[in-house]
Amino acid sequence: MGKHCGGSREVVNKVQLDGSWSFQAQFKALQACNQEDDLSFKTNSVKEVTDHGRSEAIARLQSVLAESPAPVKKRKADEIENGANEDDRKIVEALNEAEADLRKNVRTLLAPLKELEKVAGRSESDAAALAIFRQLRQLNVTVECLKATKIAAELNKPCWRGSQAAPRVRSAATNLIKGWRSMYRAETGKKDGALEASRARQVRIQAVDLEEKVFTQTQKMNEYCRIIELVCQDLMQCSDISQRLLQGTLSGDDLVTKNAGRMRIKARAVDVIDVEEKEESNL
């Protein structure tokens, strides 16, 4: 071994000191010369998604789905009337006529139903009541109609919903009342606890389903996060997508596959630009 600046080298190509230098000088020389090459991969490119990361993605999707706006309420006649142009007045007239016809039809069914109260519990009267309930179910009853006709109060009577009522009659009357109650709460802005809980479950299930489909596409962190964000952007920019997902009329698989394709196209475009820039720099 030959001398080299107060140190010596072995065939292993690592500096070894003979002790003639001070401790501090030896330490610095060894630190500078005996470094191992870092052959590890960049974590951003190959790191896989963790369970914690997946949970965060589900929470992100769930939050976006939950914030999707509710369907727009129908405009009432008095709200439209405030616009007061010719088209609006025609709409008001049509709505008022429809409402008047609706109330007339409900009162037509209400009159015989009151008569059936006197003989409720008999097979013939029960059959007649069920026929009236079926006709009521076919009508698009409004909040204004409920208030004007008091039809809901009639169906809430013990002869139709009490323990002495026949099971079929009680069930039919109860279903009508529940439907009207939900409609009333939707139109007046009052929340139905059961409906809210049902929607929360739907949102959670859909978020988990979407995340699972993204995870199936890729387990690499950067690609996974990019697809999740692209899906969230679609949900935020178009409320119709969220509503169709929750209603089951849009496939979550289609949404994820579309955005995975978008992500890969953009990635290829970036790679092409990088190659072109490298070629230009070598010229």
Residue 125 sits in a domain of what CATH number? 1.20.930
- Structural domain including 240 reads 53-70+194-282
Tokens representing residue 158 in the block: 């013990």
Among residues 172, 192, 212, the one where a domain terminates is: 192
Are residue 208 and residue 277 in the same domain, yes or no?
A: yes
Tokens representing residue 111 in the block: 């009159």
Angle between helices 252-282 and 221-237 (to 10 degrees): 120
Q: What share of the chain is helix, strand, coil (3-state, %, to 5)?
A: 75, 5, 25
How many Cα atoms occupy the beta-carbon half-sphere of 94 within 13 Å?
8
Are residue 231 and residue 221 in the same domain, yes or no?
A: yes
Average model confidence (pLDDT) across the chain: 77
Nearest 5°: the CA angle 40, 276, 267 is 60
Q: Is residue 206 part of a domain?
A: yes
Are residue 15 and residue 152 in the same domain, yes or no?
A: no
Q: Is residue 240 part of a domain?
A: yes
Q: Is residue 46 part of a domain?
A: no
Are residue 128 and residue 204 in the same domain, yes or no?
A: no
Could you report the per-residue pLDDT of 14-55, keeping only the tens digit for each? 555 555 666 666 656 656 655 554 433 343 444 688 888 899
What CA–CA distance (Å, rounded) separates 279 from 144?
Answer: 74
Confidence of residue 72 (pLDDT cuts 50, 70, 90): very low
Hunting for tokens 């949900």 — which residue is that?
A: 235
Q: Facing residues of 7 across strands?
A: 4, 17
Do the bridges between strand 3-4 and strand 15-17 make them parallel or antiparallel, or are there none, so unpaired? unpaired
Q: Is residue 95 part of a domain?
A: no
Could you report the per-residue pLDDT of 198-248, keeping only the tens digit for each? 778 888 999 999 999 999 998 888 889 999 999 999 888 887 888 888 877
Are residue 232 and residue 163 in the same domain, yes or no?
A: no
Q: What Å distances lie between residue 76 and 81, 188, 202, 267, 278, CA to CA?
A: 9, 12, 30, 50, 64
Residue 158 · residue 149 · CB < 8 Å:
no
What is the separation, in whole angstroms, between the first and last Cα of the chain?
44
Q: What is the pLDDT of residue 118?
A: 85
Residue 119 · residue 160 · CB < 8 Å:
no
